[in-house]
Amino acid sequence: MDFFARQDAARKKSGRLVVYFLAAVALIIVTVYVLVAALGLYFSGPDFVFWNAGIFFTVSLVVSLVVFLGSLYKLGIIRKGGAAVANMMGGRLVPTNSDDVLERRTLNVVAEMALASGVPVPPVYLMENEASINAFAAGFNSDDAVIGISRGAVDALTRDELQGVVAHEFSHILNGDMRLNIRLIGVIHGILLLHLIGYGLMRIVGRTSSSRDSAKVQLPLLVFAVSLMGLGWIGVFFGRLIKSAVSRQREYLADASAVQFTRNPDGIGGALVKIGRSSHNSHIGHPRAEELSHLFFGNAVKRLSGLMATHPPLKDRIMVLLPHFDGQFPALTEQELDENRVEAGLTQAPGATMLTHERSVAHVGEIVRAPEELLDIIGAPLSDHVALVRRMLDKLPEVILEAAHEPFGARALVYVLLLHREEDLREKQIGWLRTHADKLVFQETLRLMGFHDNLPPEVRLSLVDLCQAALRALSPGQYEAFRANVLALSNADQQVTLFEYTLRHVLVRHLDATFRKPRRNIIRYHSFARLKKECAVILSMLARYGHATEAVREEAFEVARRHLSTIADHLALLPETKCTLEHFDDALDQLAQLEFRYKKELLVACMASMAFDQCLTVTEAELFRGISGALECPAPPWLQLQSLKDT
């Protein structure tokens, strides 16, 4: 099953989740009605009519409101995405410039996985008080995703094992599991709310007078309160069943994806073995562990097993990855933990070799694969992509990497990437920054300018992705000033190049989801029928910006439109005035709400246009990543970074 099919399957599971939720609510309504009717019999005697449509309607309304408002309340709390979930678990945001060797190694592994996946580097939260080995990914999409990891995992896992765990969590991000998991949090809370109400009512009854007159009222109220608590546990039971049905099979898939990602079954397999060897296993002690158990890498709740378990048995997962596993879990030793910290200290820092660039600044290479085959890498990064990213990071100047990991340097680095090579325009941009940028950021920009000409185009967009974790640490005011400066620098010559557009589009689109309104694309279109104009805009702009002559543009457009067979006859190459960057942005916003299988057809058509001349420039490869990212189909930077293979 490819990325696009997995996305549609995850959304269908979201639909099933609604069905399960409604079924649980219906059962709770029926049970509450029976309790209310029993109370009616208790107070009114045998004359009470057991079935009463009015009472049933009232019970249904009250229970539905309690459950649905409870779910909406919880979803409102986590509306900001992964950071809200990490804070619920008591996570501490790990600063991107942390000096702790184990934390820095964790940040490096997460950054490598993110860059190889083609998504912004997510913030990392450390569950400082959890000695067990566990981790989670949380968020609605890659814009607001975070990685949470326990102190036990950071201390006990080797780099390869940590990489396997992080790759497993990135599989959940890429496959749509993360979005489904975060919605489950709201569903479970709504059902659990009845239990909480019953508990509160029982405490009230316990504080009331114990006189003979009040006893007749207290007893049924106490029974009702206990019954509500029991109903809450019915909800929890259904919630566990739902989480189990949704999660267990997807854990096997995520394990397999991690092996594909790292090409190292010993990494994730070794991490699972260490869970068995740890005295704390993967159990999370936080009070919200039950509520969020389905998010974790390992089974977070000690008492859940069998039908109720959100994860497959530990030994079963290990045997799939390591067939020769002997089933033994010798205890972890202090010596192993000490050796792990030593290893982290030796491997945490990337190399400081200057990356030179001797090939054409515009040309990546010949396209030797069909557009359909190139799309196989979307949402399915391979170990080759990780190796390319590590090669890039190892060869980048250390001063650039340090800048990308802290908020002042990250802003300065983005400004540097937007500086023109033409002296007059660069001076104009520097003059703007001198007036409008933070003074310390401006000084850092001047310091980093000396490295600008030695940065090959292939690494530009990956550096932007690398900066995003640090940029999320800005205050809202700092972000608005930074955003305004990015727009001003890209418009300095009253024209926007494709690179400037792509950088601005990728950066602002992702960060706006953090600092402004979160982006939640809902599938509204199930065919291209209502999106003909938008498809024509995308393909026309690619044909016009990617090819030099009108004749070649028309041929490239013709080849591309054939891939959209259902609307091909309705598409025509648009003039430049009707396929501007503003039109392009609007079209992408609409196409982001298209069903994923049709997004695949569109991306194939885009690649067919760009690859028509059998060559792909760095800027075209970057633009393709921008398009795929806007459609929530992240593409690894393989097309840009493949030219680094031989350097």
pLDDT per position as a tens digit, 79-90 = 878 899 999 999
CA-atom Rg of the chain in angstroms: 28
Annotated catalytic, 169?
yes
Tokens, residue 464: 């932007």
pLDDT at 638: 67
Work out the mean pLDDT of the chain and round it to a whole number: 82
d(CA 198, CA 300) in angstroms, rounded, equals 26
C-alpha distances in Å from residue 380, one per residue of 117, 254, 258, 634, 636:
8, 11, 10, 9, 8
**Residues 15-36, mean pLDDT to the nearest whole number:** 77
The DSSP element (H or E) to which 311 belongs, if any, is: none
Where is average pLDDT lowest: 203-207, 249-253, 635-639? Answer: 203-207
Please name the residue ranges forming H helices in 348-422: 371-374, 383-395, 398-404, 407-417
- Up-side HSE of residue 279: CA atoms within 13 Å toward CB? 5
In tens, the pLDDT along 476-502 reads 999 999 999 999 998 887 777 778 888
For 261-312, write each residue's pLDDT tens digit: 888 899 999 999 999 999 889 999 998 887 788 889 998 887 655 556 778 8
Q: Any idea which of 332-346, 396-410, 525-539 has the lowest mean pLDDT?
A: 332-346
Owner of token pair 């069903």: 595
Do 573 and 543 meet the contact criterion of CB atoms below 8 Å apart? yes
Residue that has been written with the tokens 């939260």 in this structure: 125
- Give Dmax (Cα) for the chain: 97
* Residue 551: per-residue pLDDT: 92
Residue 316 has pLDDT above 80, yes or no: yes
How far is CA 381 from each of CA 5, 259, 360, rounded to the nearest angstrom? 16, 11, 26
Helices (H), 96-176: 101-117, 151-156, 159-174
331 vs 313: CA distance, rounded Å? 19
Mean pLDDT of 180-195: 77
Q: Which of 134-148, 206-220, 529-543, 611-625 has the lowest mean pLDDT?
A: 206-220
Tokens 């190796």 belong to residue:
387
What pLDDT shows up at residue 421? 81
User: Do 488 and 431 form a contact (C-beta atoms < 8 A)?
Assistant: no
Which run of H or E residues covers position 252?
helix 212-262
Work out the percent of the chain whose per-residue pLDDT is above 70.
85
As a whole number of angstroms, the distance between CA 301 and CA 286 comes to: 10
pLDDT digits (tens, 9 = 90+) for 70-115: 888 888 888 878 899 999 999 999 998 898 999 999 999 999 999 8
Q: Classify the C-alpha dihedral 242-248-251-252 as positive or negative.
A: negative
DSSP state string for 165-181: HHHHHHHHHHTTHHHHH
Strand 124-127 and strand 146-150: the pairing is: parallel
What residue spans define the domains of the chain? 3-82+181-245, 383-514, 532-644
State in Å, rounded, how far the first CA of the chain is from the last one. 35
Selected residue with higher pLDDT from 267 and 203? 267
pLDDT band at 216 (very low <50, low <70, confident <90, very high): low
Q: Write down the catalytic residue from 103, 130, 161, 169.
A: 169
In the structure, what pLDDT confidence band is assigned to residue 246 with cuts at 50, 70 and 90? low
Grouping H, G, I as helix, E, B as strand and the rest as coil, residue 136 is strand
Most confident of 393-402, 497-506, 530-539, 605-614: 530-539
DSSP state of 139: -
pLDDT of amino acid 615: 76
Contact, 462 vs 398, CB < 8 A? Answer: no
DSSP state of 119: S
pLDDT in tens, 430-465: 999 999 999 999 999 999 998 877 777 778 888 888
* Whether pTM exceeds 0.85: no
Tell how strand 92-93 and strand 124-127 pair up: antiparallel
DSSP state, residue 525:
B
Q: Which residues contact residue 233 at a Cβ distance below 8 angstroms, ignoring those fewer than 6 apart?
A: 195
**Are 620 and 365 spatial neighbours (Cβ–Cβ below 8 Å)?**
no
CB 344, CB 596: distance < 8 Å: no
Q: Could you give the CA distance from residue 584 to residue 361 in angstroms, rounded to a whole number?
A: 25
Mean pLDDT in residue range 202-231: 66
**pLDDT given at position 304:** 56
Q: How confident is the model at residue 374 (pLDDT cuts 50, 70, 90)?
A: low
Q: Which residues contact 94 (CB under 8 A, 6 or more apart)?
A: 103, 106, 107, 123, 124, 125, 126
pLDDT at 358: 32
| Per-residue pLDDT reduced to its tens digit, 574-588 | 998 888 888 998 999
Per the CB < 8 A criterion, the answer to whether 627 and 538 are in contact is: yes
* pLDDT exceeds cutoff 80 at 515: yes
